[in-house]
Amino acid sequence: MVLLQSLYDQLAFFYEPMFMRRAMVALFLLSLAVSGAGVLAVSRRMAFFPDTVGHSALAGLALGLLVGLDPQVAVILFGLGLGLLIVFLSRRAKFGADTSLALVFSGAVALGLALISRRPRVTAGLSRWLLGDILTVGDEEIVALLGLDLIAYLIFLGLYNRLILTSVFPTGLTRQVWVDYLFGAFLAVVSVLAVQAVGVLLATALLVTPAATSRVLAATGRSFFWLALVFSLISGQLGLWISYQPGVNASAGATVVLTSLGFLALAALGRRLVGRV
Amino acid sequence: MIETFERPATESPAKKSVAGPVELPPSWPTAWVPALSLVEVKATLGEFEVLREVTFQAPKGRQTIIIGPNGAGKSTLIHCLLGQIPHEGRVFFDPPGPRLGYVPQRPDFDRFLPLTVGEFLALGLSRRPIWLGLGRATQVKVKAALELVKAGSLYGKPLGGLSGGETQRALLAAALLSEPDILILDEPATGVDVYGEQLLCEILEGLKDSFTVLMVSHDLATARAHGDWVVCLNRRVVAQGRPEEIFQPQTLSATFGLHQGLIFGSATGSPSSDSAAGPACSHG
């Protein structure tokens, strides 16, 4: 916490209000983990994963209340379970990732609504879980994001090749079942934490858009990873800065999303002029 | 595909006589040892019995070619060997639990994924993530494997931009990198132009005597030119033997049906049994 405080002091150069400095750090940490996770999710056609898991927060919360679990723990556990269920469905029932995601998405949202509608009072704190706001991020969330980065880079260092290999040939006769499930669990945790920090919209956009932008420009697997990281970092920070300008004064999350989409459009144009890198 | 399949040793009962769970065919040379024996293998897909009582052997360190018309169950047979399709009957491997390298037919993959051929080959070879670049030792191995399949120039090219023949060679290099005991090729000549077929011939010649190769093909010329042992499959084994025995009009029409004899008449007309020379291969 002392370290965080001194970091915030350093960032006073960029922004006056403390919530902007926290947002800056949170977006930076989130970009580190989410860009690589996005590259893998896009390669494995699981781009809708964070959306599905993010919306499951509703059902997770309601179930947590029923069982008497801490909401934070309940949401993470439920998201994790759904992540594994999605992998199971796309592997065993052979629906493919897209259909599995749609099935789990509607099921989880419906379950959440059904449970919540029985206890109307719960809905009060709900918007925070679905629409989390980058400007209200607290120090605990920043520490959680730091932990997420640690897990993410352990996975990127240890399993990246296997995960890419099985996504080049999704119908391939792979025997490494546990790798699929581990990745599903990882992506679920990334999604839940990202959604809590910045909301469903920004979490999905940050996960998918830089990876898609990089995919347009990259010629090698190496540049695919690094370009996604660069685009994720730049659109996060630039979007935050734009949203803070007096003339703009727009929602920070939405501006970050629009900025990252702007880079995607530029990349598509740029590739015609310059080619891939 | 690039993965290797370690078949559980329990599925290959080594306790039973490995040398010959069944009698070897009469024309089997005495010096040969079977690397693979199938005994009365049956497979059904839904209601349809694709393979009925398939029994044959494949010699160790040599090239066995399974020929047969479309729908003969050739690919099904390979999936049985890989343990991907439930089947009755027995499969014996010597040694038990071998590493199988597999090159699929017309691979279906994401052609827009940014990945070079070199990176693709490194995926199955090295744990070092490709976003950190390839290590020197990996680069050397990958380039050597590509040279072996006469594809050294593909190293830096995007995997998705390869032609059919180039893709086959990249996949073959990947299979070779996994150092398989048995290399299984499913219709390697599919979607390959004449030049690619020529290259494939030369590569197969280069692999001769160093790997046990099991290749499925409907291309009789390839089978004739490269096979040490040929199995004619049409949902059951119609015949197995040395190429010069198999490439007789009677055997071929029994396998492929009537009119194939006309089409392949010229291929079978030559009495040459020299395995290096065949209609598809004009080496040199």
| ipTM associated with this complex | 0.85
Residues of chain A with Cβ-Cβ distance to B119 below 8 Å are 220-222
CB count within 10 Å of CB B130 equals 24
Place of tokens 């299979």: B175
Find the closest chain B residue to A165 by CA distance.
Answer: B123
- Which among A158, A169, A222 has the least Cβ separation from residue B130? A222
The fraction of chain B above a pLDDT of 70, given in percent, is 82
pLDDT (mean) for A111-122: 76
The residues near A257 (Cβ < 8 Å, ≥ 6 apart) are A201, A202, A205, A206, A209, A239
Q: How do residues B233-254 score in pLDDT, each as one tens digit?
A: 988 888 888 988 888 777 777 7
**Of A95-99, A139-143, B78-82, the least confident:** A95-99
Tell me, what's the pLDDT at A2? Answer: 83
CB count within 10 Å of CB A72 equals 16
User: Minimal CA–CA distance to A40: which of A120, A175, A158?
Assistant: A158
Residue at B188 is within a domain = no
- Which among A173, A176, A218 has the least Cβ separation from residue B82? A173
Segments making up each domain of chain A, as ranges: 24-274
User: Minimal CA–CA distance to A111: which of A188, A46, A55?
Assistant: A55
Residue at B172 is within a domain = no
pLDDT (mean) for A216-230: 95
CB spacing of A224 vs B1 below 8 angstroms: no
Tell me, what's the pLDDT at B259? Answer: 52
pLDDT for B98 beyond 80: yes
CB spacing of A172 vs B3 below 8 angstroms: yes
Does A275 contact B at CB distance below 8 Å? no
Residue at B236 is within a domain = yes
The fraction of chain B above a pLDDT of 90, given in percent, is 18
Please give the residue that has the higher pLDDT: either A132 or A221: A221
CB spacing of A168 vs B128 below 8 angstroms: no
User: Minimal CA–CA distance to B69: which of B190, B219, B281, B208?
Assistant: B219
pLDDT (mean) for B13-20: 42
CB spacing of A172 vs B133 below 8 angstroms: no
Residue at B125 is within a domain = no
Q: What is the mean pLDDT of chain A?
A: 86
Q: Which two tokens stand for residue B39?
A: 């005994």
User: What CA–CA distance (Å, rounded) separates A238 from B39?
Assistant: 67
- Which among B114, B122, B129 has the least Cβ separation from residue A156? B129
CB spacing of B110 vs A215 below 8 angstroms: no
Helix (H) / strand (E) element for A139: namely: helix A139-158
pLDDT for B271 beyond 50: no
Domain region containing B85: 29-95+216-270
User: What CA–CA distance (Å, rounded) separates B142 from B130?
Assistant: 13
Q: How do residues B112-141 score in pLDDT, each as one tens digit?
A: 889 999 999 999 888 899 999 999 999 999
* pLDDT band per the 50, 70, 90 thresholds, residue A125: low
Determine if the pTM surpasses 0.95: no
* pLDDT band per the 50, 70, 90 thresholds, residue B44: confident
Find the closest chain A residue to B134 by CA distance.
Answer: A222
Q: What is the mean pLDDT of chain B?
A: 79
CB spacing of A214 vs B114 below 8 angstroms: yes
Residues of chain A with Cβ-Cβ distance to B113 below 8 Å are 43, 164, 167-168, 215, 221, 224
Chain A residues 126-165 with CB within 8 Å of chain B: 156-158, 160-162, 164-165
At position A209, the amino acid (one-letter code) is T
Q: How do residues B175-234 score in pLDDT, each as one tens digit?
A: 888 888 898 988 877 767 777 777 777 887 777 777 899 998 877 877 787 888 999 998
Residues of chain A with Cβ-Cβ distance to B1 below 8 Å are 169, 172-173
Q: Which two tokens stand for residue A56?
A: 């499951």
pLDDT for A123 beyond 70: no
User: Long-range contacts of range B29-32, CB-CB < 8 Å, 24 or more positions apart?
Assistant: B29/B59, B32/B59, B32/B60, B32/B62
CB spacing of A173 vs B5 below 8 angstroms: yes
CB spacing of A215 vs B1 below 8 angstroms: no
- CATH number for the domain that contains residue B241: 3.40.50.300
- Which among B3, B120, B132 has the least Cβ separation from residue A175? B3
pLDDT (mean) for A152-165: 92
Please give the residue that has the higher pLDDT: either B270 or A231: A231
Tell me, what's the pLDDT at A175? Answer: 55
**Of A39-53, A213-227, B96-110, the least confident:** B96-110
**Of A189-203, A227-241, B230-244, the least confident:** A189-203
Q: Superfamily for A24-274?
A: ABC transporter involved in vitamin B12 uptake, BtuC (1.10.3470.10)
- Which among B1, B120, B126 has the least Cβ separation from residue A172? B1
pLDDT (mean) for B267-271: 41
Q: How far is A189 from chain B (nearest CA, A)?
A: 22
pLDDT for B14 beyond 50: no
pLDDT (mean) for A67-77: 85
Residue at B150 is within a domain = no
Place of tokens 């949203």: A243
**Of A73-87, A160-174, B83-97, the least confident:** A160-174
* pLDDT band per the 50, 70, 90 thresholds, residue B284: very low
CB count within 10 Å of CB A34 equals 35
pLDDT for A129 beyond 80: no
**Of A44-48, B74-78, B124-128, B274-278, the least confident:** B274-278
Tell me, what's the pLDDT at B279? Answer: 42
Tell me, what's the pLDDT at A132? Answer: 66
Tell me, what's the pLDDT at A128? Answer: 61
pLDDT (mean) for B39-53: 87
Residues of chain B with Cβ-Cβ distance to A180 below 8 Å are none
Does A221 contact B at CB distance below 8 Å? yes
pLDDT for B4 beyond 80: no
DSSP string, chain B: ---EEE--GGGS-TTS-SS-SSPPPTTS-TT--EEEEEEEEEEEETTEEEEEEEEEEEETTSEEEEE--TTSSHHHHHHHHTT-S--EEEEEESSSS-EEEEE-SS----TTS--BHHHHHHHTT--S-GGG---HHHHHHHHHHHHHTT-GGGTTSBGGG--HHHHHHHHHHHHHHT--SEEEEE-TTTT--HHHHHHHHHHHHHHTTTSEEEEEES-HHHHHHH-SEEEEESSSEEEEE-HHHH-SHHHHHHHH-TTHHHHTHHHHH-----TT-BTTB---
Q: Structurally, how many domains does chain B consist of?
A: 1
